[in-house]
Amino acid sequence: MLEVNGLRVSYGGIQAVRGISFHVDEGEMVALIGANGAGKSSTLRALARLVNPVGGNVRYRGKELLSLPAHQLVAEGIALVPEGRGIFPRMTTSENLRMGAFSRNDKQAVERDLEHVFSLFPRLAERAQQVAGTLSGGEQQMLAIGRALMSQPKLMLLDEPSMGLAPIMVQKIFEVIRTVASQGMTILLIEQNAKLALEVSQRGYVMESGTISLTEESAKLLADPKVRAAYLGE
Amino acid sequence: MSTAIKSLARHQHWLALLVVGVVLLLVPFVAALGGQAWVRIANFAILYVFLALGLNIVVGYAGLLDLGYVAFYAVGAYTYALLASPHFAIHLPFWVILPLGAGLACVFGVLLGAPTLKLRGDYLAIVTLGFGEIIRIFMNNLNAPVNITNGAQGITLIDPIRIGGFSLSQSSTFLGVTLSGPQKYYFLLVGLAILVIVINIRLQDSRIGRAWQAIREDEVAAKACGINTRNIKLLAFAMGASFGGIAGGVFSAMQGFVSPESFSLMESITILAMVVLGGMGHIPGVILGAVLLTGLPEALRYGIEPLQKMVFGRLLIDPESLRMLVFGLALVLVMRFRPAGLWPSPQRRRELSESTD
C-alpha cells in the first residue's frame, strides 16, 4: 500500500533522514521505533507532506505521493494524527470531529461515522459539547484519532500517540488503536514507547540516527536482545 | 407553550432590528442639531465599522495579525483620488472606480499575503507593519521624477460620489426633508456597513469560516483535515483588503482630499484596537469597538476643553495630549478587566473563563 524508497530529509545542512526504505502492506500495522532524534517524526512529516524531502520517492496505491500537496492527502485516504495531538482547542469535541470530515460532502455518512467514533470513545460522547482545549491529554489524543477516523481513511499515520500521557491513558489509547486496526485499518505507528508499539504491531522498523538499522516481525524484535538492551531498558 | 416562547423570541428579534433601524435613521438628524461636524463624526464611525469588519476577517476569523491594514485603505483612497480629480484630469464615475479600487486592494492583499504565508503571530505583524509603511512612503514620494501622487501635499478637489446630476456632496430636498451632503453620505455608509455585516455573518457560518477557524487554531491539523491552507489564507487577505479598498474610495469621495498623512501606522493600530477591544471575531463587538473608538476621542475633544475651563477657569493641559492619555488609559483598563473584549463572542468568553479554572 505504501512504499518508501530512499527517503531523505534535511533541515538546513543537517540530515535527519538518510535514505530510508520501508513498506506498509494493506491491513497491517507497522511500527517505526527509535530513540529521540532518530528521524522518526521527520519521516512521518515527509509522508504527511509537511516537509519536502530532499530525495527518494513514496508510492501510495500506485501513485507518487510526494507530488501531492498536504491538503490532498485526506482525499487520497491518508489521515495524520499529528504529534502533540493537534486538536482545535476552541472548537467543541463534536466540531473537532466534524472538521475531520471537512473534505467530505456525504452528510448522512458523516453522521453515521460520528456515531461510530462516539461508540469507539464513549468518553468523547460524554464531552461532545465541551471545548476541546479543556479536555484531558488522553481525551485530546482520543479526539485526534477520532478526527482522523472521520475522514474515512485507508491509511492512518500516528505520530507518538503515547507522548505526554499518563500510563493508564496510554493503555487505553493503545487498546483503541488495536481496535481500529482489527477493523481492517492500515496503520503506520511512530512511537518512542518501543514495547507498546511492538506489542500492537505486526512488523517493526528500528530507526537509528536517520537510518533503519533493523527490521523484523514485531514479536521477534521484542525478543531481540539488542533491541531489549537499547530500547526496552533491559 | 414553547412555540409561543419561540415566536415571541422571533418577534423580539425583529423588534430589536426595527429599533436599530429607527435609531440609524434618526442619527444624522439628531447629530445635525449639534452641527454638521457631528454628522461627519457619525460618518467616520460607520466608515470605521466598515474597516474594522474588513480587518475582522483577517484578524478575527483567519487569525492573521495584520498591522498594515491601512495600506489597503490607502490603495482604495488613492485609486479614487487619481481617477476622479483634476490631478490627472480624469473623472471616472464612482461605480467604475470603487470596484477598481477594491480589486486593486485585493491584488495588494494577495501580494502581501503570498510571501508571508509561512509567518504567523509577531513575525507576520512585523512584515505587515512594514508593508503598511512602504505604501505610505510610496504615496509620500511618488511625486518625482513623475508626479503621480502629488507627494505630501496630497490630492485635492476629488469628485464626490455622483449619480447623473445628483451629487452626494450638496444638500438637496426629498419629500420636504432636506438632506445635507454629510447626511447623504451617512446613508450610503450605512448601506455599505449593512452589506459588510451580512457578508461577515455569512462567512462566519460557512465552510470557509470553519476553515479559517481551523487554521487559526492549528495549521498542521487544518492541513491534515484537507484544508488548502495557502488558498484559504490568501482569501482572507484578499477579502479583508477589498473591504479596505472600498472604504478608502468612499473616504476619498467624502473628504474631497487625500494625503499620505491619513494612512499612518497609528491608523492601522486604531483599526486593530477596534477589533480587539470590541471582541475579536464577534460582529456586534467589532461594531461596538469601532463606534466607541471613533466617538470617544471626539467626545473627549469637545468635552475636555470646556470642562477644564469650567473647573479651573483656564486651560491647564493641552486637550490633545490629555485626550490621548484618557484614550490610552481606557484601552488599558478594558484589556485588563475584559481581556476578550467589551462584547466577546460567547465561545471566546466560555474558553477564557474555563481556562482560568
pLDDT tens, residue by residue, B210-237 = 999 999 999 999 999 999 999 999 999 9
What pLDDT is attached to residue B355? 47
CATH number, domain of A64, equals 3.40.50.300
Query: Under DSSP, is residue B233 helix (H, G, I), strand (E, B) or coil?
Result: helix
Indicate whether B145 belongs to any domain. yes
Task: Write phi, then psi, for B280 (nearest 5 degrees).
Answer: -55, 130
Comparing CB atoms, the residue among B207, B220, B355 nearest residue A86 is B220
Indicate whether B304 belongs to any domain. no
pTM equals: 0.86
Q: Provide the pLDDT confidence category of residue A126 given band limits of 50, 70 and 90.
A: very high
Interface test with B, best of A51, A72, A85, A90 (most B CBs within 10 A): A90
Indicate whether B13 belongs to any domain. no
Alpha carbon of A186: minimum distance to chain B alpha carbons (Å): 17
Q: Provide the pLDDT confidence category of residue B356 given band limits of 50, 70 and 90.
A: very low
Query: Is A213:A32 a contact under the CB 8 Å cutoff?
Result: no
List Cα–Cα distances, A224 to A120, A192, A199, B165, in angstroms.
Answer: 34, 17, 13, 92
pLDDT at B320 over 80: no
Query: Is A73:A44 a contact under the CB 8 Å cutoff?
Result: no
Peptide bond into B145 cis (omega under 30): yes
Count of other CB atoms within 10 angstroms of residue B228: 17
Domain count for chain A, please give it. Answer: 1
Write out the residue range of the structural domain in which residue B142 sits.
34-277
- C-beta atoms of A87 and B355 within 8 A: no
- C-beta atoms of B210 and A99 within 8 A: yes
Q: Provide the pLDDT confidence category of residue A100 given band limits of 50, 70 and 90.
A: very high
pLDDT in tens, A193-206: 888 999 999 999 99
Across the beta sheet with A78-81, the strand order is A78-81, A155-159, A186-191, A29-34, A203-208, A211-217
pLDDT at B39 over 90: no
Domain count for chain B, please give it. Answer: 1
Query: Is B148:B138 a contact under the CB 8 Å cutoff?
Result: no
- C-beta atoms of A131 and B350 within 8 A: yes
Measured between alpha carbons, how far is B222 from B208 in angstroms, rounded to an integer?
12
Which residues in chain A touch residue B204, judged by CB atoms under 8 angstroms apart? none
pLDDT in tens, A21-70: 999 999 999 999 988 888 898 999 999 999 999 989 999 998 899 999 99
DSSP chain A: -EEEEEEEEEETTEEEEEEEEEEE-TT-EEEEEE-TTSSHHHHHHHHTTSS--SEEEEEETTEEGGGS-GGGTGGGTEEEE-TT----TTSBHHHHHHHHTTT---HHHHHHHHHHHHHH-HHHHHTTTSBGGGS-HHHHHHHHHHHHHTT--SEEEEE-TTTT--HHHHHHHHHHHHHHHHTT-EEEEEES-HHHHHHH-SEEEEEETTEEEEEEEHHHHHH-HHHHHHHS--
Average pLDDT over residues B47-59: 93
Query: Under DSSP, is residue B194 helix (H, G, I), strand (E, B) or coil?
Result: helix
Q: Strand B84-85 and strand B90-91: pairing?
A: antiparallel
Which residues in chain A touch residue B347, judged by CB atoms under 8 angstroms apart? 90, 131
Indicate whether B3 belongs to any domain. no
Write out the residue range of the structural domain in which residue A205 sits.
2-231
